[in-house]
Chains A and B, each alone.
Chain A
Amino acid sequence: MDFLNPVINGFAVVLEPTNLLYCLIGVVIGMLIGVLPGLGPAATIAILLPLTYNVEPVTAIIMLAGIFYGAQYGGTITSVLLRLPGEASSVVTVFDGYQMARQGKAGTALGLAAIGSFIGGTAAIIGLTFLAPIVAGFALDFGPPEYTALALLGILLVATISSGAKAKALIAAAVGLLLATVGRDIFTGQSRFTFGNLQLADGIDFVPIAMGLFGLGEILYNLEERHRAAKAPSKVSNVWPSRKDLKQASGSIGRGSLLGFFLGILPGGGATIASMASYAMEKKRAKQPERFGKGAPEGVAGPETANNAAATSSFIPLLTLGIPANATMALMFGALLIQGVTPGPQLVEQNPELFWGVVNSMYIGNILLLIMSLPLVGIFVKILRVRAAILAPVTALITLLGAYTINNSMFDVTLVVVFGIIGYLMKKFGFEPGPLVLAFVLGELLESSMRRSLLVFGGDPLGFFGRPISATLLIVFVLVALLPVIRSIAKRKFTASTLVTKPDIKEKV
């Protein structure tokens, strides 16, 4: 079995003590920030990017990945105990999880969620193991035109699927692309938008942008956010679900794994959408849908499984195509670039230790998380008592001091504060920072592959439509771009007055 050799070697990478340690650190941090409402996984990863400078690429990504999927486990705890979603991806868990807690079944809800998360996560890793090399093999033939189309489509999908106004998300993406052009033009060597500033000559670093927009911007925004009423966590007893509960939830766990896995792969998909889709599906499938919202175990198990599966499978586009599917993956992309590793189809072949090390670390991470969310859940419930008033200055200081350590320069710290202000104002004015960071990360790839393709096509933009894959991707691009326009025209004709306010869940980054 030639295919399995690198997979098994990957386990050797994971079992190195350093990697195990960083995996543990990652999932513990993930659990913590999942439990603490406020900072989301993207903000935390952004703030901790300086930590990854002095370690091996595989170790760095193992830790960052742990934060990401760990947060999916932790977010459940506050949803169930406090009716306060720790993460956007656990919002729907509130509906039934909190009701279960009120009926004295908090432990069961948490236990089901943990087991579901574990199964969803593990199933997604297995899916990733088999699907990723195939996708990567397929993508090996991609040339610049395909990458141009893929990057364009990726940015567009992330922008249009984000919450809030699509035009604003696209504006944010355009700003990101523009920021990516600052510095020396790779083709001609001419400086662009540097305004004579030497420190801008090499372009703006990804890390201060991410730390500012996601980290500091989020911290500042939270300073004024009204925190929802918190009250005493219900007592958690017996987190081991009974056989009957498990049996009742097993169907939704299976469906959640599958749904989450596929939604996670799609650009712009990811944990939040997966959990909502799973909740909707469970409710639709149920024989007695009226039980939902009144403590139905499926309403907890399904979404929690789906968000974990999606968190894991969203690594597929990143690791196989080099296209991040959401803002958190954009941060992983940035972290890999810092390490001198360009994610893409060659990664599986050229860097098998990294690829399989990261993938296999997720098994270990999920086992650690299962232990933390079943027997050790009491410890994390206690952490709920840490007050935001104390946490905010600590995270702000970590951000500033961490930014300094990147290059030992105050210029980076200043950049972080500047982007922090921009991030805060963006959130205030309804612009999501996610598309900006994603577009910034993809900007250079997009420009260089577009210019290379145009060279190949002799300057004829229609050449993109002469190749089957790039043509298909671009047609999808046009369709996605035009869809909201068509829909809004249709909507305006029908319901100008009966505007239904649908619950708009704010994505915590």
Chain B
Amino acid sequence: MISVPGTPSVPAGGSSETAAAPGRDSPHNLSEEILDELTPEQLAAQWEEEKPPAAGALANTASSLVVLGVGVGAVILSLAMGLGTPASPQPGLWPFIISCVMVALGLFQLILGRHNRDAEKFTRMSAAPLTGLVTLAAMVALMPLIGFELPALVLCVVWMRFLGGETWRSTLVISTSVVVAFYAIFVLALNTSIPHLF
């Protein structure tokens, strides 16, 4: 279970059976019986409701503009490479075709796709992937300098304790065993050249 700041975390060392889902459906023990009686249609509707909130038109505009930007950039670069003719194409012809399609699709999405709602809003929960990303980036930056063991340990602790809501005890025990296991597999058993400290 992924816990979220502000919602009760998973009980200490508890097994998954009692894990309350974070988010809106926390009082689910009360509605358990009702939930069990749902028809497939209601169940599907409930899943639909549980989906993260949809992002507004801004997200669509932003992503369409990124697509347009990449497309236009690629058009310019392809033109610089030279198009040639269909019979004797220069390297730029194929990328030029694709980037034109991209620009067209980007425009389509910008104008006609502005009502679709399949983008998700960034919520407070998005802090979790962001934190995760920072630890990953840190690991990439630090691995060549101090080996993989300490960054991996930090990554495990952050993901389990702060993103996952594990207890300190299980976090420390599991993180250490995970790093030891990885050391055993990648360094001792497979003898790879992964930068390591010890």
Contact = CB atoms under 8 A, between A and B. Distances in A.
Contact of A174 (B17, B48, B102): B102
A275 to B, nearest CB: 13
Contacts of B98: 174, 177-178, 181
B184 interface: no
A23 to B, nearest CB: 21
A165 B116 contact: yes
Contacts of B10: 387, 389
A379 B118 CA distance: 38
B103 to A, nearest CB: 9
B50 A228 contact: yes
A224 B126 contact: yes
A489 to B, nearest CB: 11
B21 A228 contact: yes
Interface in B74-111: 74, 77, 81, 85-92, 94-95, 98-99, 101-102, 105-106, 108-109
A4 interface: no
Contact of B22 (A221, A226, A390, A404): A226
A222 B25 CA distance: 18
A233 B17 contact: yes
Contact of B182 (A102, A401, A413, A421): A401
Interface stretch (A253-261, A339-347, A353-361, A454-462): A454-462
A390 B164 contact: yes
A504 interface: yes
Contacts of B139: 400
B105 A174 contact: yes
Contacts of A165: 109, 113, 116, 118
B21 A401 contact: no
Contact of A454 (B23, B36, B86): B86
A396 B164 CA distance: 14
Given A223-B129, A394-B178, A168 B109 contact: yes
Nearest to B103: A174
Contact of A389 (B59, B122, B166, B193): B166
A188 B90 contact: yes
A413 B94 contact: no
B169 interface: no
Contacts of A164: 118
Given A216-B136, A229-B28, A389-B159, A178 B91 contact: no
A220 B48 CA distance: 21
Contact of A385 (B16, B55, B99): B16
Contact of A405 (B60, B125, B133, B186): B186
A393 interface: yes
Contact of B85 (A459, A503, A506): A459
A149 interface: no
Interface residues of B, number: 97
A227 interface: yes
Contact of A181 (B67, B94, B123): B94
A417 B43 contact: no
A414 B140 CA distance: 7
A430 interface: yes
Nearest to B31: A229
B21 A229 contact: yes
B95 A192 contact: yes
A229 B16 contact: no
A293 B119 contact: no
A147 interface: no
B27 to A, nearest CB: 10
A77 to B, nearest CB: 14
A232 B32 CA distance: 12
B43 A94 contact: yes
Contacts of A495: none
Interface string B136-153: 110110011000100010
Contacts of A193: 74, 77, 95
Contact of A178 (B99, B113, B144, B163): B99
B143 A413 contact: yes
A95 B43 contact: yes
Nearest to A421: B133
A392 B164 CA distance: 9
A228 B132 CA distance: 21
Contacts of A504: 48, 118
B102 A397 contact: no
B81 A222 contact: no
A388 B87 contact: no
Contact of B166 (A224, A228, A390): A390
A417 B133 CA distance: 8
Contacts of B186: 401, 405
Given A170-B105, A174-B102, A401-B148, A229 B20 contact: yes
B119 A428 contact: yes
A231 B32 contact: yes
Contacts of A224: 2, 52, 123, 125-126, 128-129
A327 interface: no
The 9 closest A-B CB pairs, nearest first, are A389-B164, A459-B87, A503-B44, A430-B118, A232-B17, A459-B86, A393-B159, A185-B91, A224-B125
Given A429-B119, A458-B87, 5 more contacts: A231-B17, A393-B160, A401-B148, A429-B60, A503-B47
Interface of A: 83, 94-95, 102, 164-165, 167-168, 170-171, 174-175, 177-178, 181, 185, 187-188, 190, 192-193, 216, 219-233, 292-293, 384-390, 392-394, 396-397, 400-401, 404-405, 408, 410, 413-414, 417, 420-421, 424, 427-431, 447, 450-451, 454-455, 458-461, 501, 503-504, 506
11 contacts: A170-B101, A171-B67, A232-B17, A292-B40, A392-B163, A393-B175, A394-B156, A400-B140, A428-B122, A429-B55, A430-B116
